[in-house]
């Protein structure tokens, strides 16, 4: 016997909200004044009740906004990496028939009305925490996926490299249990903490508007890990290639001298994972029990 189709009215009853709210959530209406928490509750309930994904699959966000974070003193290398990631996201969204607009910004509240004027149905935020989202005016009602970011808010999906395991792998490949760490400055505090938490402060250098030469000079004769392709190019001027490992995002091996240990987690893979999460969320074809932190391992 064919199962009875689940209706929006049944979902509304289960969620304790109106049918209109369910419709706004399942159709990903960016202009609807419902919270992200309500939207995701409706989607999770629809998934649990086996609401037909075929219906929801027809609803797509009219426009996607990709917000690239900037911060004072941001290095060229970090900006290049983030803009390359944004370009990869836009290209992969275009292949799915979705139009994406890339914006840069330091202050999210200052950018927010411009973002809302675009009436996006979906947001990707690159290298940004979730704290500012709760205080936006008007409130955020769109689904958000954080990429190359981390936060403890279970409301949002985060897609990022598994940095702790990558750092362990780099140390193993270098044959150095306690390498120094050189990385580009990042806005996401949780991401920085995950990267630096196990390395002594004197062996960590965060490259944001500072001269890195004194740090490199002080660590000559040691082995280290660099997070950032263009930053690794700079470090190679001071160290033999075999003394360094780089966690690479750009996927351009020609940047580096022979002998450098390269651990690739390219932006195309980060973008693919983020877009896949977005498509699953939009179509309800996702596992609501899955961890909201999608951690990426390196390319083989």
The alpha helices in 146-197, defined as continuous H runs, are 163-174, 189-196
> Tokens 């002998």 correspond to what residue?
259
pTM: 0.83
Strand partners, 123: 65, 144
Give the integer Cα–Cα distance in Å for 200 and 221. 18
- 8-57, what's its fold? 434 Repressor (Amino-terminal Domain) (1.10.260)
**Which of 84, 86, 65, 68 has the alpha carbon at shortest distance from 127?**
68
Chain segment 35-68, per-residue pLDDT in tens: 767 877 887 888 788 776 544 444 556 689 999 9
Q: Give helix then strand counts, H and E, for the chain.
A: 11, 11
CB atoms < 10 A from the CB of 261, how many?
Answer: 19
* Mean pLDDT value across residues 215-224: 96
Confidence of residue 88 (pLDDT cuts 50, 70, 90): very high
Longest dimension (CA), the chain: 75
Half-sphere exposure of 60 (CA within 13 A, CB side): 14
Give the integer Cα–Cα distance in Å for 300 and 139. 42
Contact 187, 127 (CB under 8 A): yes
CATH of 163-266, one of 3.30.70, 3.40.1010, 3.40.1350, 1.10.287: 3.40.1010
C-alpha distances (whole Å) from 43 to each of 31, 53, 101, 143, 284 are: 17, 11, 25, 11, 7
- Asked whether residue 135 carries a pLDDT value surpassing 50, the answer given is yes
- Asked whether residue 238 carries a pLDDT value surpassing 90, the answer given is yes
In the chain, list all ranges with CATH 1.10.260: 8-57
Sign of the Cα torsion 137, 138, 141, 143 reads negative
Chain segment 262-273, per-residue pLDDT in tens: 999 999 999 999
In the chain, list all ranges with CATH 3.40.1010: 163-266
Tokens of 194: 């995950």
Give the integer Cα–Cα distance in Å for 101 and 237. 37
**Which of 74, 146, 78, 86 has the alpha carbon at shortest distance from 267?**
86
In the chain, list all ranges with CATH 3.40.50.2300: 64-161+268-296
- Does domain 64-161+268-296 bear CATH number 3.40.50.300? no
The secondary element (H helix, E strand) that includes residue 48 is helix 36-48
- Asked whether residue 138 carries a pLDDT value surpassing 80, the answer given is no
Strand partners, 296: 161
Query: Out of 59-63, 76-80, 229-233, which region has the weakest mean confidence (pLDDT)?
Result: 59-63
């Amino acid at each position: 016997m064919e199962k009875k189709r689940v209706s929006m009215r049944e979902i509304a009853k289960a969620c304790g909200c109106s049918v209109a709210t369910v419709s706004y959530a399942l159709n990903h209406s960016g202009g609807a004044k419902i919270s992200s928490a309500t939207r995701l509750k409706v989607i999770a309930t629809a998934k649990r009740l086996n609401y037909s994904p075929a219906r929801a699959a027809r609803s797509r966000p009219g426009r996607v906004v990709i917000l690239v974070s900037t911060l004072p003193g941001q290095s060229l290398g970090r900006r290049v990496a983030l803009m390359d990631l944004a370009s990869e996201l836009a290209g992969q969204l275009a292949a799915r028939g979705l139009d994406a607009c890339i914006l840069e910004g330091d202050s999210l509240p200052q950018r927010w009305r411009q973002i809302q004027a675009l009436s996006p149905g979906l947001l990707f935020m690159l290298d940004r925490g979730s704290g500012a989202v709760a205080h936006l005016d008007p409130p955020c009602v769109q689904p958000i996926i954080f990429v190359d970011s981390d936060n403890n808010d279970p409301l949002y999906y985060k897609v990022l490299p598994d940095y702790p395991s990558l750092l362990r792998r780099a140390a193993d490949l270098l044959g150095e249990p306690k390498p120094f760490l050189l990385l580009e400055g990042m806005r996401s505090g949780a991401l920085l903490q995950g990267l630096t938490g196990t390395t002594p402060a004197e062996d960590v250098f965060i490259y944001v508007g500072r001269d890195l030469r004194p740090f490199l000079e002080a660590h000559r004769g040691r082995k280290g890990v660099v997070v950032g392709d263009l930053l690794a190019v700079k470090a190679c001027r001071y160290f033999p290639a075999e003394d360094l490992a780089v966690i690479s995002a750009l996927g351009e091996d020609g940047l580096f001298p022979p002998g450098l240990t390269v651990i690739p987690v390219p932006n195309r893979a980060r973008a693919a994972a983020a877009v896949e999460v977005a498509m699953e969320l939009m179509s309800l074809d996702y596992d609501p029990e899955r961890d909201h932190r999608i951690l990426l391992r390196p390319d083989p």
